[in-house]
Amino acid sequence: MIDIRHMILDNTSLLKRGVGGVLLLAMLILSSCSTEPQQKTKTTPKKPKVKIEVPTFNADSAYAFVAKQVSFGPRLISSKGWKNCAIWLEKKFKTYTSTVIVQQAPITTYDGKNHTLKNIIASFSPEKNNRVALFAHWDSRHIADHDTENQNEPILGANDGGSGVGVLIEMARQFSIKNPKIGVDIILFDAEDYGQPENSGFPIMQNSWCLGSQYWSNNPHKQNYFAQYGILLDMVGAKDATFRHEQISFYYASNILQKVWREASRLGFGNYFVFESANQILDDHYYVNTIIGIPTIDIIEYDPATESNFNKHWHTHKDDMDNIDKSTLNAVGQTLLEVIYTE
């Protein structure tokens, strides 16, 4: 780029040099008045914008993926349902991509029990440096601490856990048919919901929630791993769910938050993606933001009408397939496909 300030200074200095400067200036003027016709510069026509064909999200498929997870029963870490679901998730992802990693690590939960967690990662176009990470947790709550009955029994977690995973598996299926221009990593965290409840009777354990994301953020599946941004899905399947601007998301990744909500609004999903603030929520995205430093948002149901501010069936035995709505799955899934494929 030419610095116009230098051009002005040069011409001014010519005028201050006396006769020689005047003669030189006159020569410049005469040369600029040459009778030879000036050649017209050719203008390159602007290329028309290529319309990007974004796949259509299949809500029926996503719903079936949620139902499959629920069919294994509760998926609390180390349980039979958890083991069988882990096997199925790995096999399912391998039908869509050859790059699937099961990251395992020993952990101790707040109740003193030892487990081996499993984070499941499916990568698309792993050779690309420009990447986006999509997150969800695949375990379910080990107790029904917000129910009035059978509080010590594990829950099915159709919405809280299953819905986010179902949406991401359907997106993986779409990626296998048509690759986005960017690389994508789908990362399913384990042991998100094994956090310490109130009045547990055990000594207070700091950071007892989100154990899978804490481990991955400190030990990513690939050395020097980084993504341009991340999107976490949590409780994205209930009927008439609303998603608001959660404050940790706004603090660390407000541009991504605005981008996703604008896209949802453009698609006609403004009744789900509401342009209002929500309280900060300690979820997997907190550790992704603060430990590994990937700006990450949380798409999570926020209901100001409930005491918990979450879905009315949160951490209860009614979080089953009756709590899942295809329209909500579609709103979230189609919005994310639009965001990913237009990068």
What is the residue-wise DSSP string for 103-142?
Answer: EEEEEE-TTS-EEEEEEEEEEESTT-SSEEEEEEE----S
Tokens representing residue 84 in the block:
């069988």
pLDDT, tens digit only, all 343 positions of the chain: 333 333 323 333 333 333 344 333 343 334 444 444 455 455 556 656 667 899 999 999 999 999 999 999 999 999 999 999 999 999 999 999 999 999 999 999 999 999 999 999 999 999 999 999 999 999 999 999 999 999 999 999 999 999 999 999 999 999 999 999 999 999 999 999 999 999 899 999 999 999 999 999 999 999 999 999 999 999 999 999 999 999 999 999 999 999 999 999 999 999 999 999 999 999 999 999 999 999 999 999 999 999 999 999 999 999 999 999 999 999 999 999 999 999 9
In a domain, 14, yes or no: no
Q: What is the pTM of this model?
A: 0.86
In a domain, 286, yes or no: yes
Count other C-beta atoms under 10 Å from residue 195's C-beta. 19
Q: How many domains does the chain have?
A: 1
Show the domain range for 282: 75-341
In a domain, 301, yes or no: yes
C-alpha closest to that of 308 among 201, 204, 160: 160
Tokens representing residue 244 in the block:
């608001």
Q: Which CATH number goes with the domain that contains 188?
A: 3.40.630.10
